[in-house]
Amino acid sequence: MQIYLVGGAVRDSLLGLEVHDRDWVVVGADAQTMLKQGFTPVGKDFPVFLHPVSHEEYALARTERKTGKGYGGFCFHAAADVSLEQDLMRRDLTVNAMAQDENGCLIDPFGGQRDLEQGILRHVSPAFAEDPVRILRTARFAARYGFAVAPETMALMCDMVENGETDALVAERVWQEFAKGLMEKQPRRMIEILQECGALKVLLPEVHALFGVPQCAEYHPEIDSGIHTLTVLQRAADMELDLPERYAALLHDLGKALTPKDILPQHIGHDIRGIDPVRSVNQRWRVPKACAELAELVCRYHIRLHQIGNIKKAGKIIKLLRETDAFRRPERFQAALNVCMADAQGRLGKEQSPYPQRQHWLEVLAAAQSIDTAAIAAQYPTQPQKIQAAIDEARAQAVRPVHQNFLKKMKQPCS
């Protein structure tokens, strides 16, 4: 029985990165051998066991054969006669198909180390085409490392999409890979790769539809709505925003693909038009509630949040704070402002431009929250219908001087 360190641990150690998880392959053994040595089996579908002490995963060397469409259409063969090279051959990319023996010697039958050095993601064998999840994984690794996809691998991915393999992907698996990719250092690379191979049109047609939609060059030097979306997403990553915020950044402008070109430059209506596409994506991929809610909130309100300098009356600010549920959920409101900032700075040459709107919204919210709402409510023991209006007026009075000072700085009149 021989044991080898495989996969991501080998890849990341060669890149000089910190290794978080280690996976092992066992050659020359079967399930009974593993059980006798105290290993605990994991699940029924894969010959994977947990080490009795470290609890790390040890998998029997195996081969696999395609039996149907999608990522689940496989049967596996795990036995003592399966070699390490046979096991590595079933893996997706050469950079993931390397192993180290107990002495730390590298086993690299498919040139993974060379591809690491050259920054290339290349498929190991034609079996890559049997699992559509590998398209998403390749795009995700491009987002993590900034690597290029080998031309022959890109061609294979295009063929997979054309043959309908991506149609068989299930919602949970798509979201799992998307969520991981959004949290990588260069998430725009994931979207670019999916767009290039045609998978974006299948998986996220709402985002795909943005490419080629023009914008007003005065506000958007990048002009193309799809490019702007990528830039905003990347700015959100550079700001180290969390998953709901990055997801909202990706979907914030979906309405632009549905907005007539003659009114699109004036930003008229695309925030409202985007709500249905955002909901469609949320439902199709069963997006977690926190991500779904923030994406819808940002899509609906980001233009109005940008334009606080055009609001002259404090009462309208209070109304908008209530509409966005900022009083009950201030953390979500602040997350929306973070995405707005990424949107404003997600434009060519504007990455470090000031965005005073974010801080001002937080200041007016703090001023409005300083009001003792319980004391106001106590003034109307027999007229509860008047309580909300009284609270709103008190909040407006608290907000008014703060907003007047902001408008003065912005050189806008106030009433």
Report the pLDDT averaged over residues 287-300.
Answer: 97
- Write down the pLDDT at residue 272: 85
Tell whether the model's pLDDT for residue 402 goes beyond 70.
yes
Domain end among 94, 109, 124: 109
**Mean pLDDT across 115-136:** 95
Tokens 């608290």, residue?
Answer: 398
Question: What is the reported pLDDT for 67?
Answer: 57
DSSP secondary structure of 355-370: -HHHHHHHHHHHHHHT
Residue 355 near residue 344 (C-beta atoms within 8 A): yes
The pLDDT assigned to 270 comes to 77
Asked if residue 167 has pLDDT above 60, the reply is: yes
Do 235 and 93 belong to one domain? Answer: no
Task: Give the whole-angstrom CA distance, residue 211 versus residue 191.
Answer: 11
CATH number of the domain residue 32 falls in: 3.30.460.10
Residue 84 included in any domain: yes
113-117, 181-185, 213-217, 317-321: range with lowest mean pLDDT:
213-217
Residues 56, 22 contacting (CB under 8 angstroms): yes
Residue 415 pLDDT:
33
Q: Which of the pair, 213 or 194, is modelled with greater confidence?
A: 194
String of DSSP letters for 64-81: EEE-SSSTT-EEEEE-TT
Give the pLDDT of residue 289.
98
Residues 86 and 230 in one domain: no
**385 and 238, same structural domain?**
yes
The pLDDT tens digits for 301-338 are 999 999 999 999 999 999 999 999 999 999 999 999 99
Q: Is residue 90 part of a domain?
A: yes
The count of structural domains within the chain is 2
Task: Report if residue 70 sits inside a domain.
Answer: yes
- Tokens 């021989």 correspond to 2
pLDDT band at 231 (very low <50, low <70, confident <90, very high): very high
> Judging by DSSP bridges, how do beta strands 48-50 and 57-60 pair with one another?
antiparallel
Amino acid 66: pLDDT: 61
- Is the pLDDT at 349 greater than 70? The verdict is yes
Closest by CA to 324, choosing from 343, 339, 342, 344, is: 339
Q: Long-range CB contacts (< 8 A, 24+ apart) of 93-96?
A: 93/121, 93/122, 93/123, 93/124, 93/134, 93/137, 93/138, 93/141, 93/153, 94/122, 94/123, 94/124, 95/11, 95/121, 95/122, 95/141, 96/7, 96/8, 96/11
Could you tell me what percent of the chain has a pLDDT over 90? 76
Per-residue pLDDT, 45: 66
Q: Confirm whether 193 is domain-assigned.
A: no
The string of pLDDT tens digits covering residues 244-263 is 999 999 999 999 988 776 65
Same domain, 275 and 403: yes
Question: pLDDT at residue 392 above 80?
Answer: yes
What are residue 110's phi and psi, to 5 degrees?
-120, 15
Mean of the per-residue pLDDT values for the chain? 91
Q: What is the pTM of this model?
A: 0.90
Boundary of a domain, candidates 68, 85, 109: 109
What is the number of other CB atoms lying within 10 angstroms of the CB of residue 68? 10
Same domain membership, residue 383 and residue 261: yes
- Can you give the residue range of the structural domain that contains 91? 1-109
- The phi and psi torsions of 16 (rounded to 5 degrees) equal 75, 20
Q: Examine residue 119 and state whether it is found in any structural domain, yes or no.
A: no
Q: Does position 92 have pLDDT exceeding 60, yes or no?
A: yes
Residue 295, pLDDT above cutoff 50: yes
- The pLDDT of residue 288: 97
Q: What is the pLDDT of residue 197?
A: 98
Say how far apart CA 287 and CA 303 lie, in whole Å. 24
Q: Write the pLDDT tens digit of every residue in 352-379.
A: 899 999 999 999 999 999 999 999 999 9
Does 400 share its domain with 265? yes
The phi, psi pair for 27, rounded to 5°, reads: -110, 140
What is the rounded average pLDDT of the residues 60-70? Answer: 70
The first and second tokens of residue 18, run together, are 């910190």
Q: Which of 79, 109, 139 is the last residue of a domain?
A: 109
SS3 call for 167: helix
Average pLDDT over residues 32-36: 90
Evaluate whether residue 217 is within a structural domain.
Answer: no
Is residue 123 a part of any domain in this protein? Answer: no
Smallest CA-to-CA distance from 88 within 100, 105, 80, 104 is with 100
CA distance 4 to 58: 9
Q: What is the pLDDT of residue 263?
A: 59
Number of Cβ within 10 Å of residue 127's Cβ equals: 18
Q: State whether the Cα torsion 193-198-203-209 is positive or negative.
A: positive
Q: What is the pLDDT of residue 158?
A: 98
The strand order across the sheet containing 106-107 reads 40-42, 48-50, 57-60, 23-27, 2-6, 99-100, 106-107
Question: Could you tell me if residue 124 is inside a domain?
Answer: no
**Residue 229 and residue 93 share a domain:** no
- Structure token digits, residue 358: 């974010």
pLDDT of residue 69: 56
Per-residue pLDDT band for 74 (boundaries 50, 70, 90) equals low
